[in-house]
């Protein structure tokens, strides 16, 4: 999941981690910048949908412009 916007607030990353934990999702923040956050999230699709909605509404001190989701292909072998 890639979140684009304005994330000057230091509270957004801990908020993301708490929200994912409440939903029972496994997450890792891969990239965190003032205008882009990339997350690796695993769990049921319905809960990931809820995570996306929560991030789009987010805390009041951040501005989310867009969220893009793409599945990650796992390599086996």
42, part of any domain: yes
CATH classification of the domain holding 47: 3.30.70
**For the whole model, what pTM was predicted?**
0.85
72, part of any domain: no
Residue 73: the pLDDT is 58
Residue 9: the pLDDT is 72
Longest dimension (CA), the chain: 44
Taking the chain (77 residues) in consecutive chunks of 10 residues, what is each chunk's mean pLDDT? 88 93 94 92 95 91 93 54
Residue 41: the pLDDT is 94
23, part of any domain: yes
Residue 65: the pLDDT is 95
CA neighbours closer than 13 Å in the CB half-sphere of residue 21:
6
21, part of any domain: yes
């Amino acid at each position: 999941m890639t979140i684009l916007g304005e994330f000057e607030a230091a509270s957004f990353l801990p908020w993301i981690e708490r929200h994912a934990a409440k939903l029972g999702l496994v997450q890792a923040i891969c990239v965190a910048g003032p205008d882009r956050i990339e997350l690796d999230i695993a769990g049921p699709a319905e809960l990931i949908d809820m995570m996306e909605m929560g991030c789009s509404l987010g805390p009041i001190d951040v501005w989310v412009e867009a969220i893009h989701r793409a599945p990650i292909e796992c390599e086996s072998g």
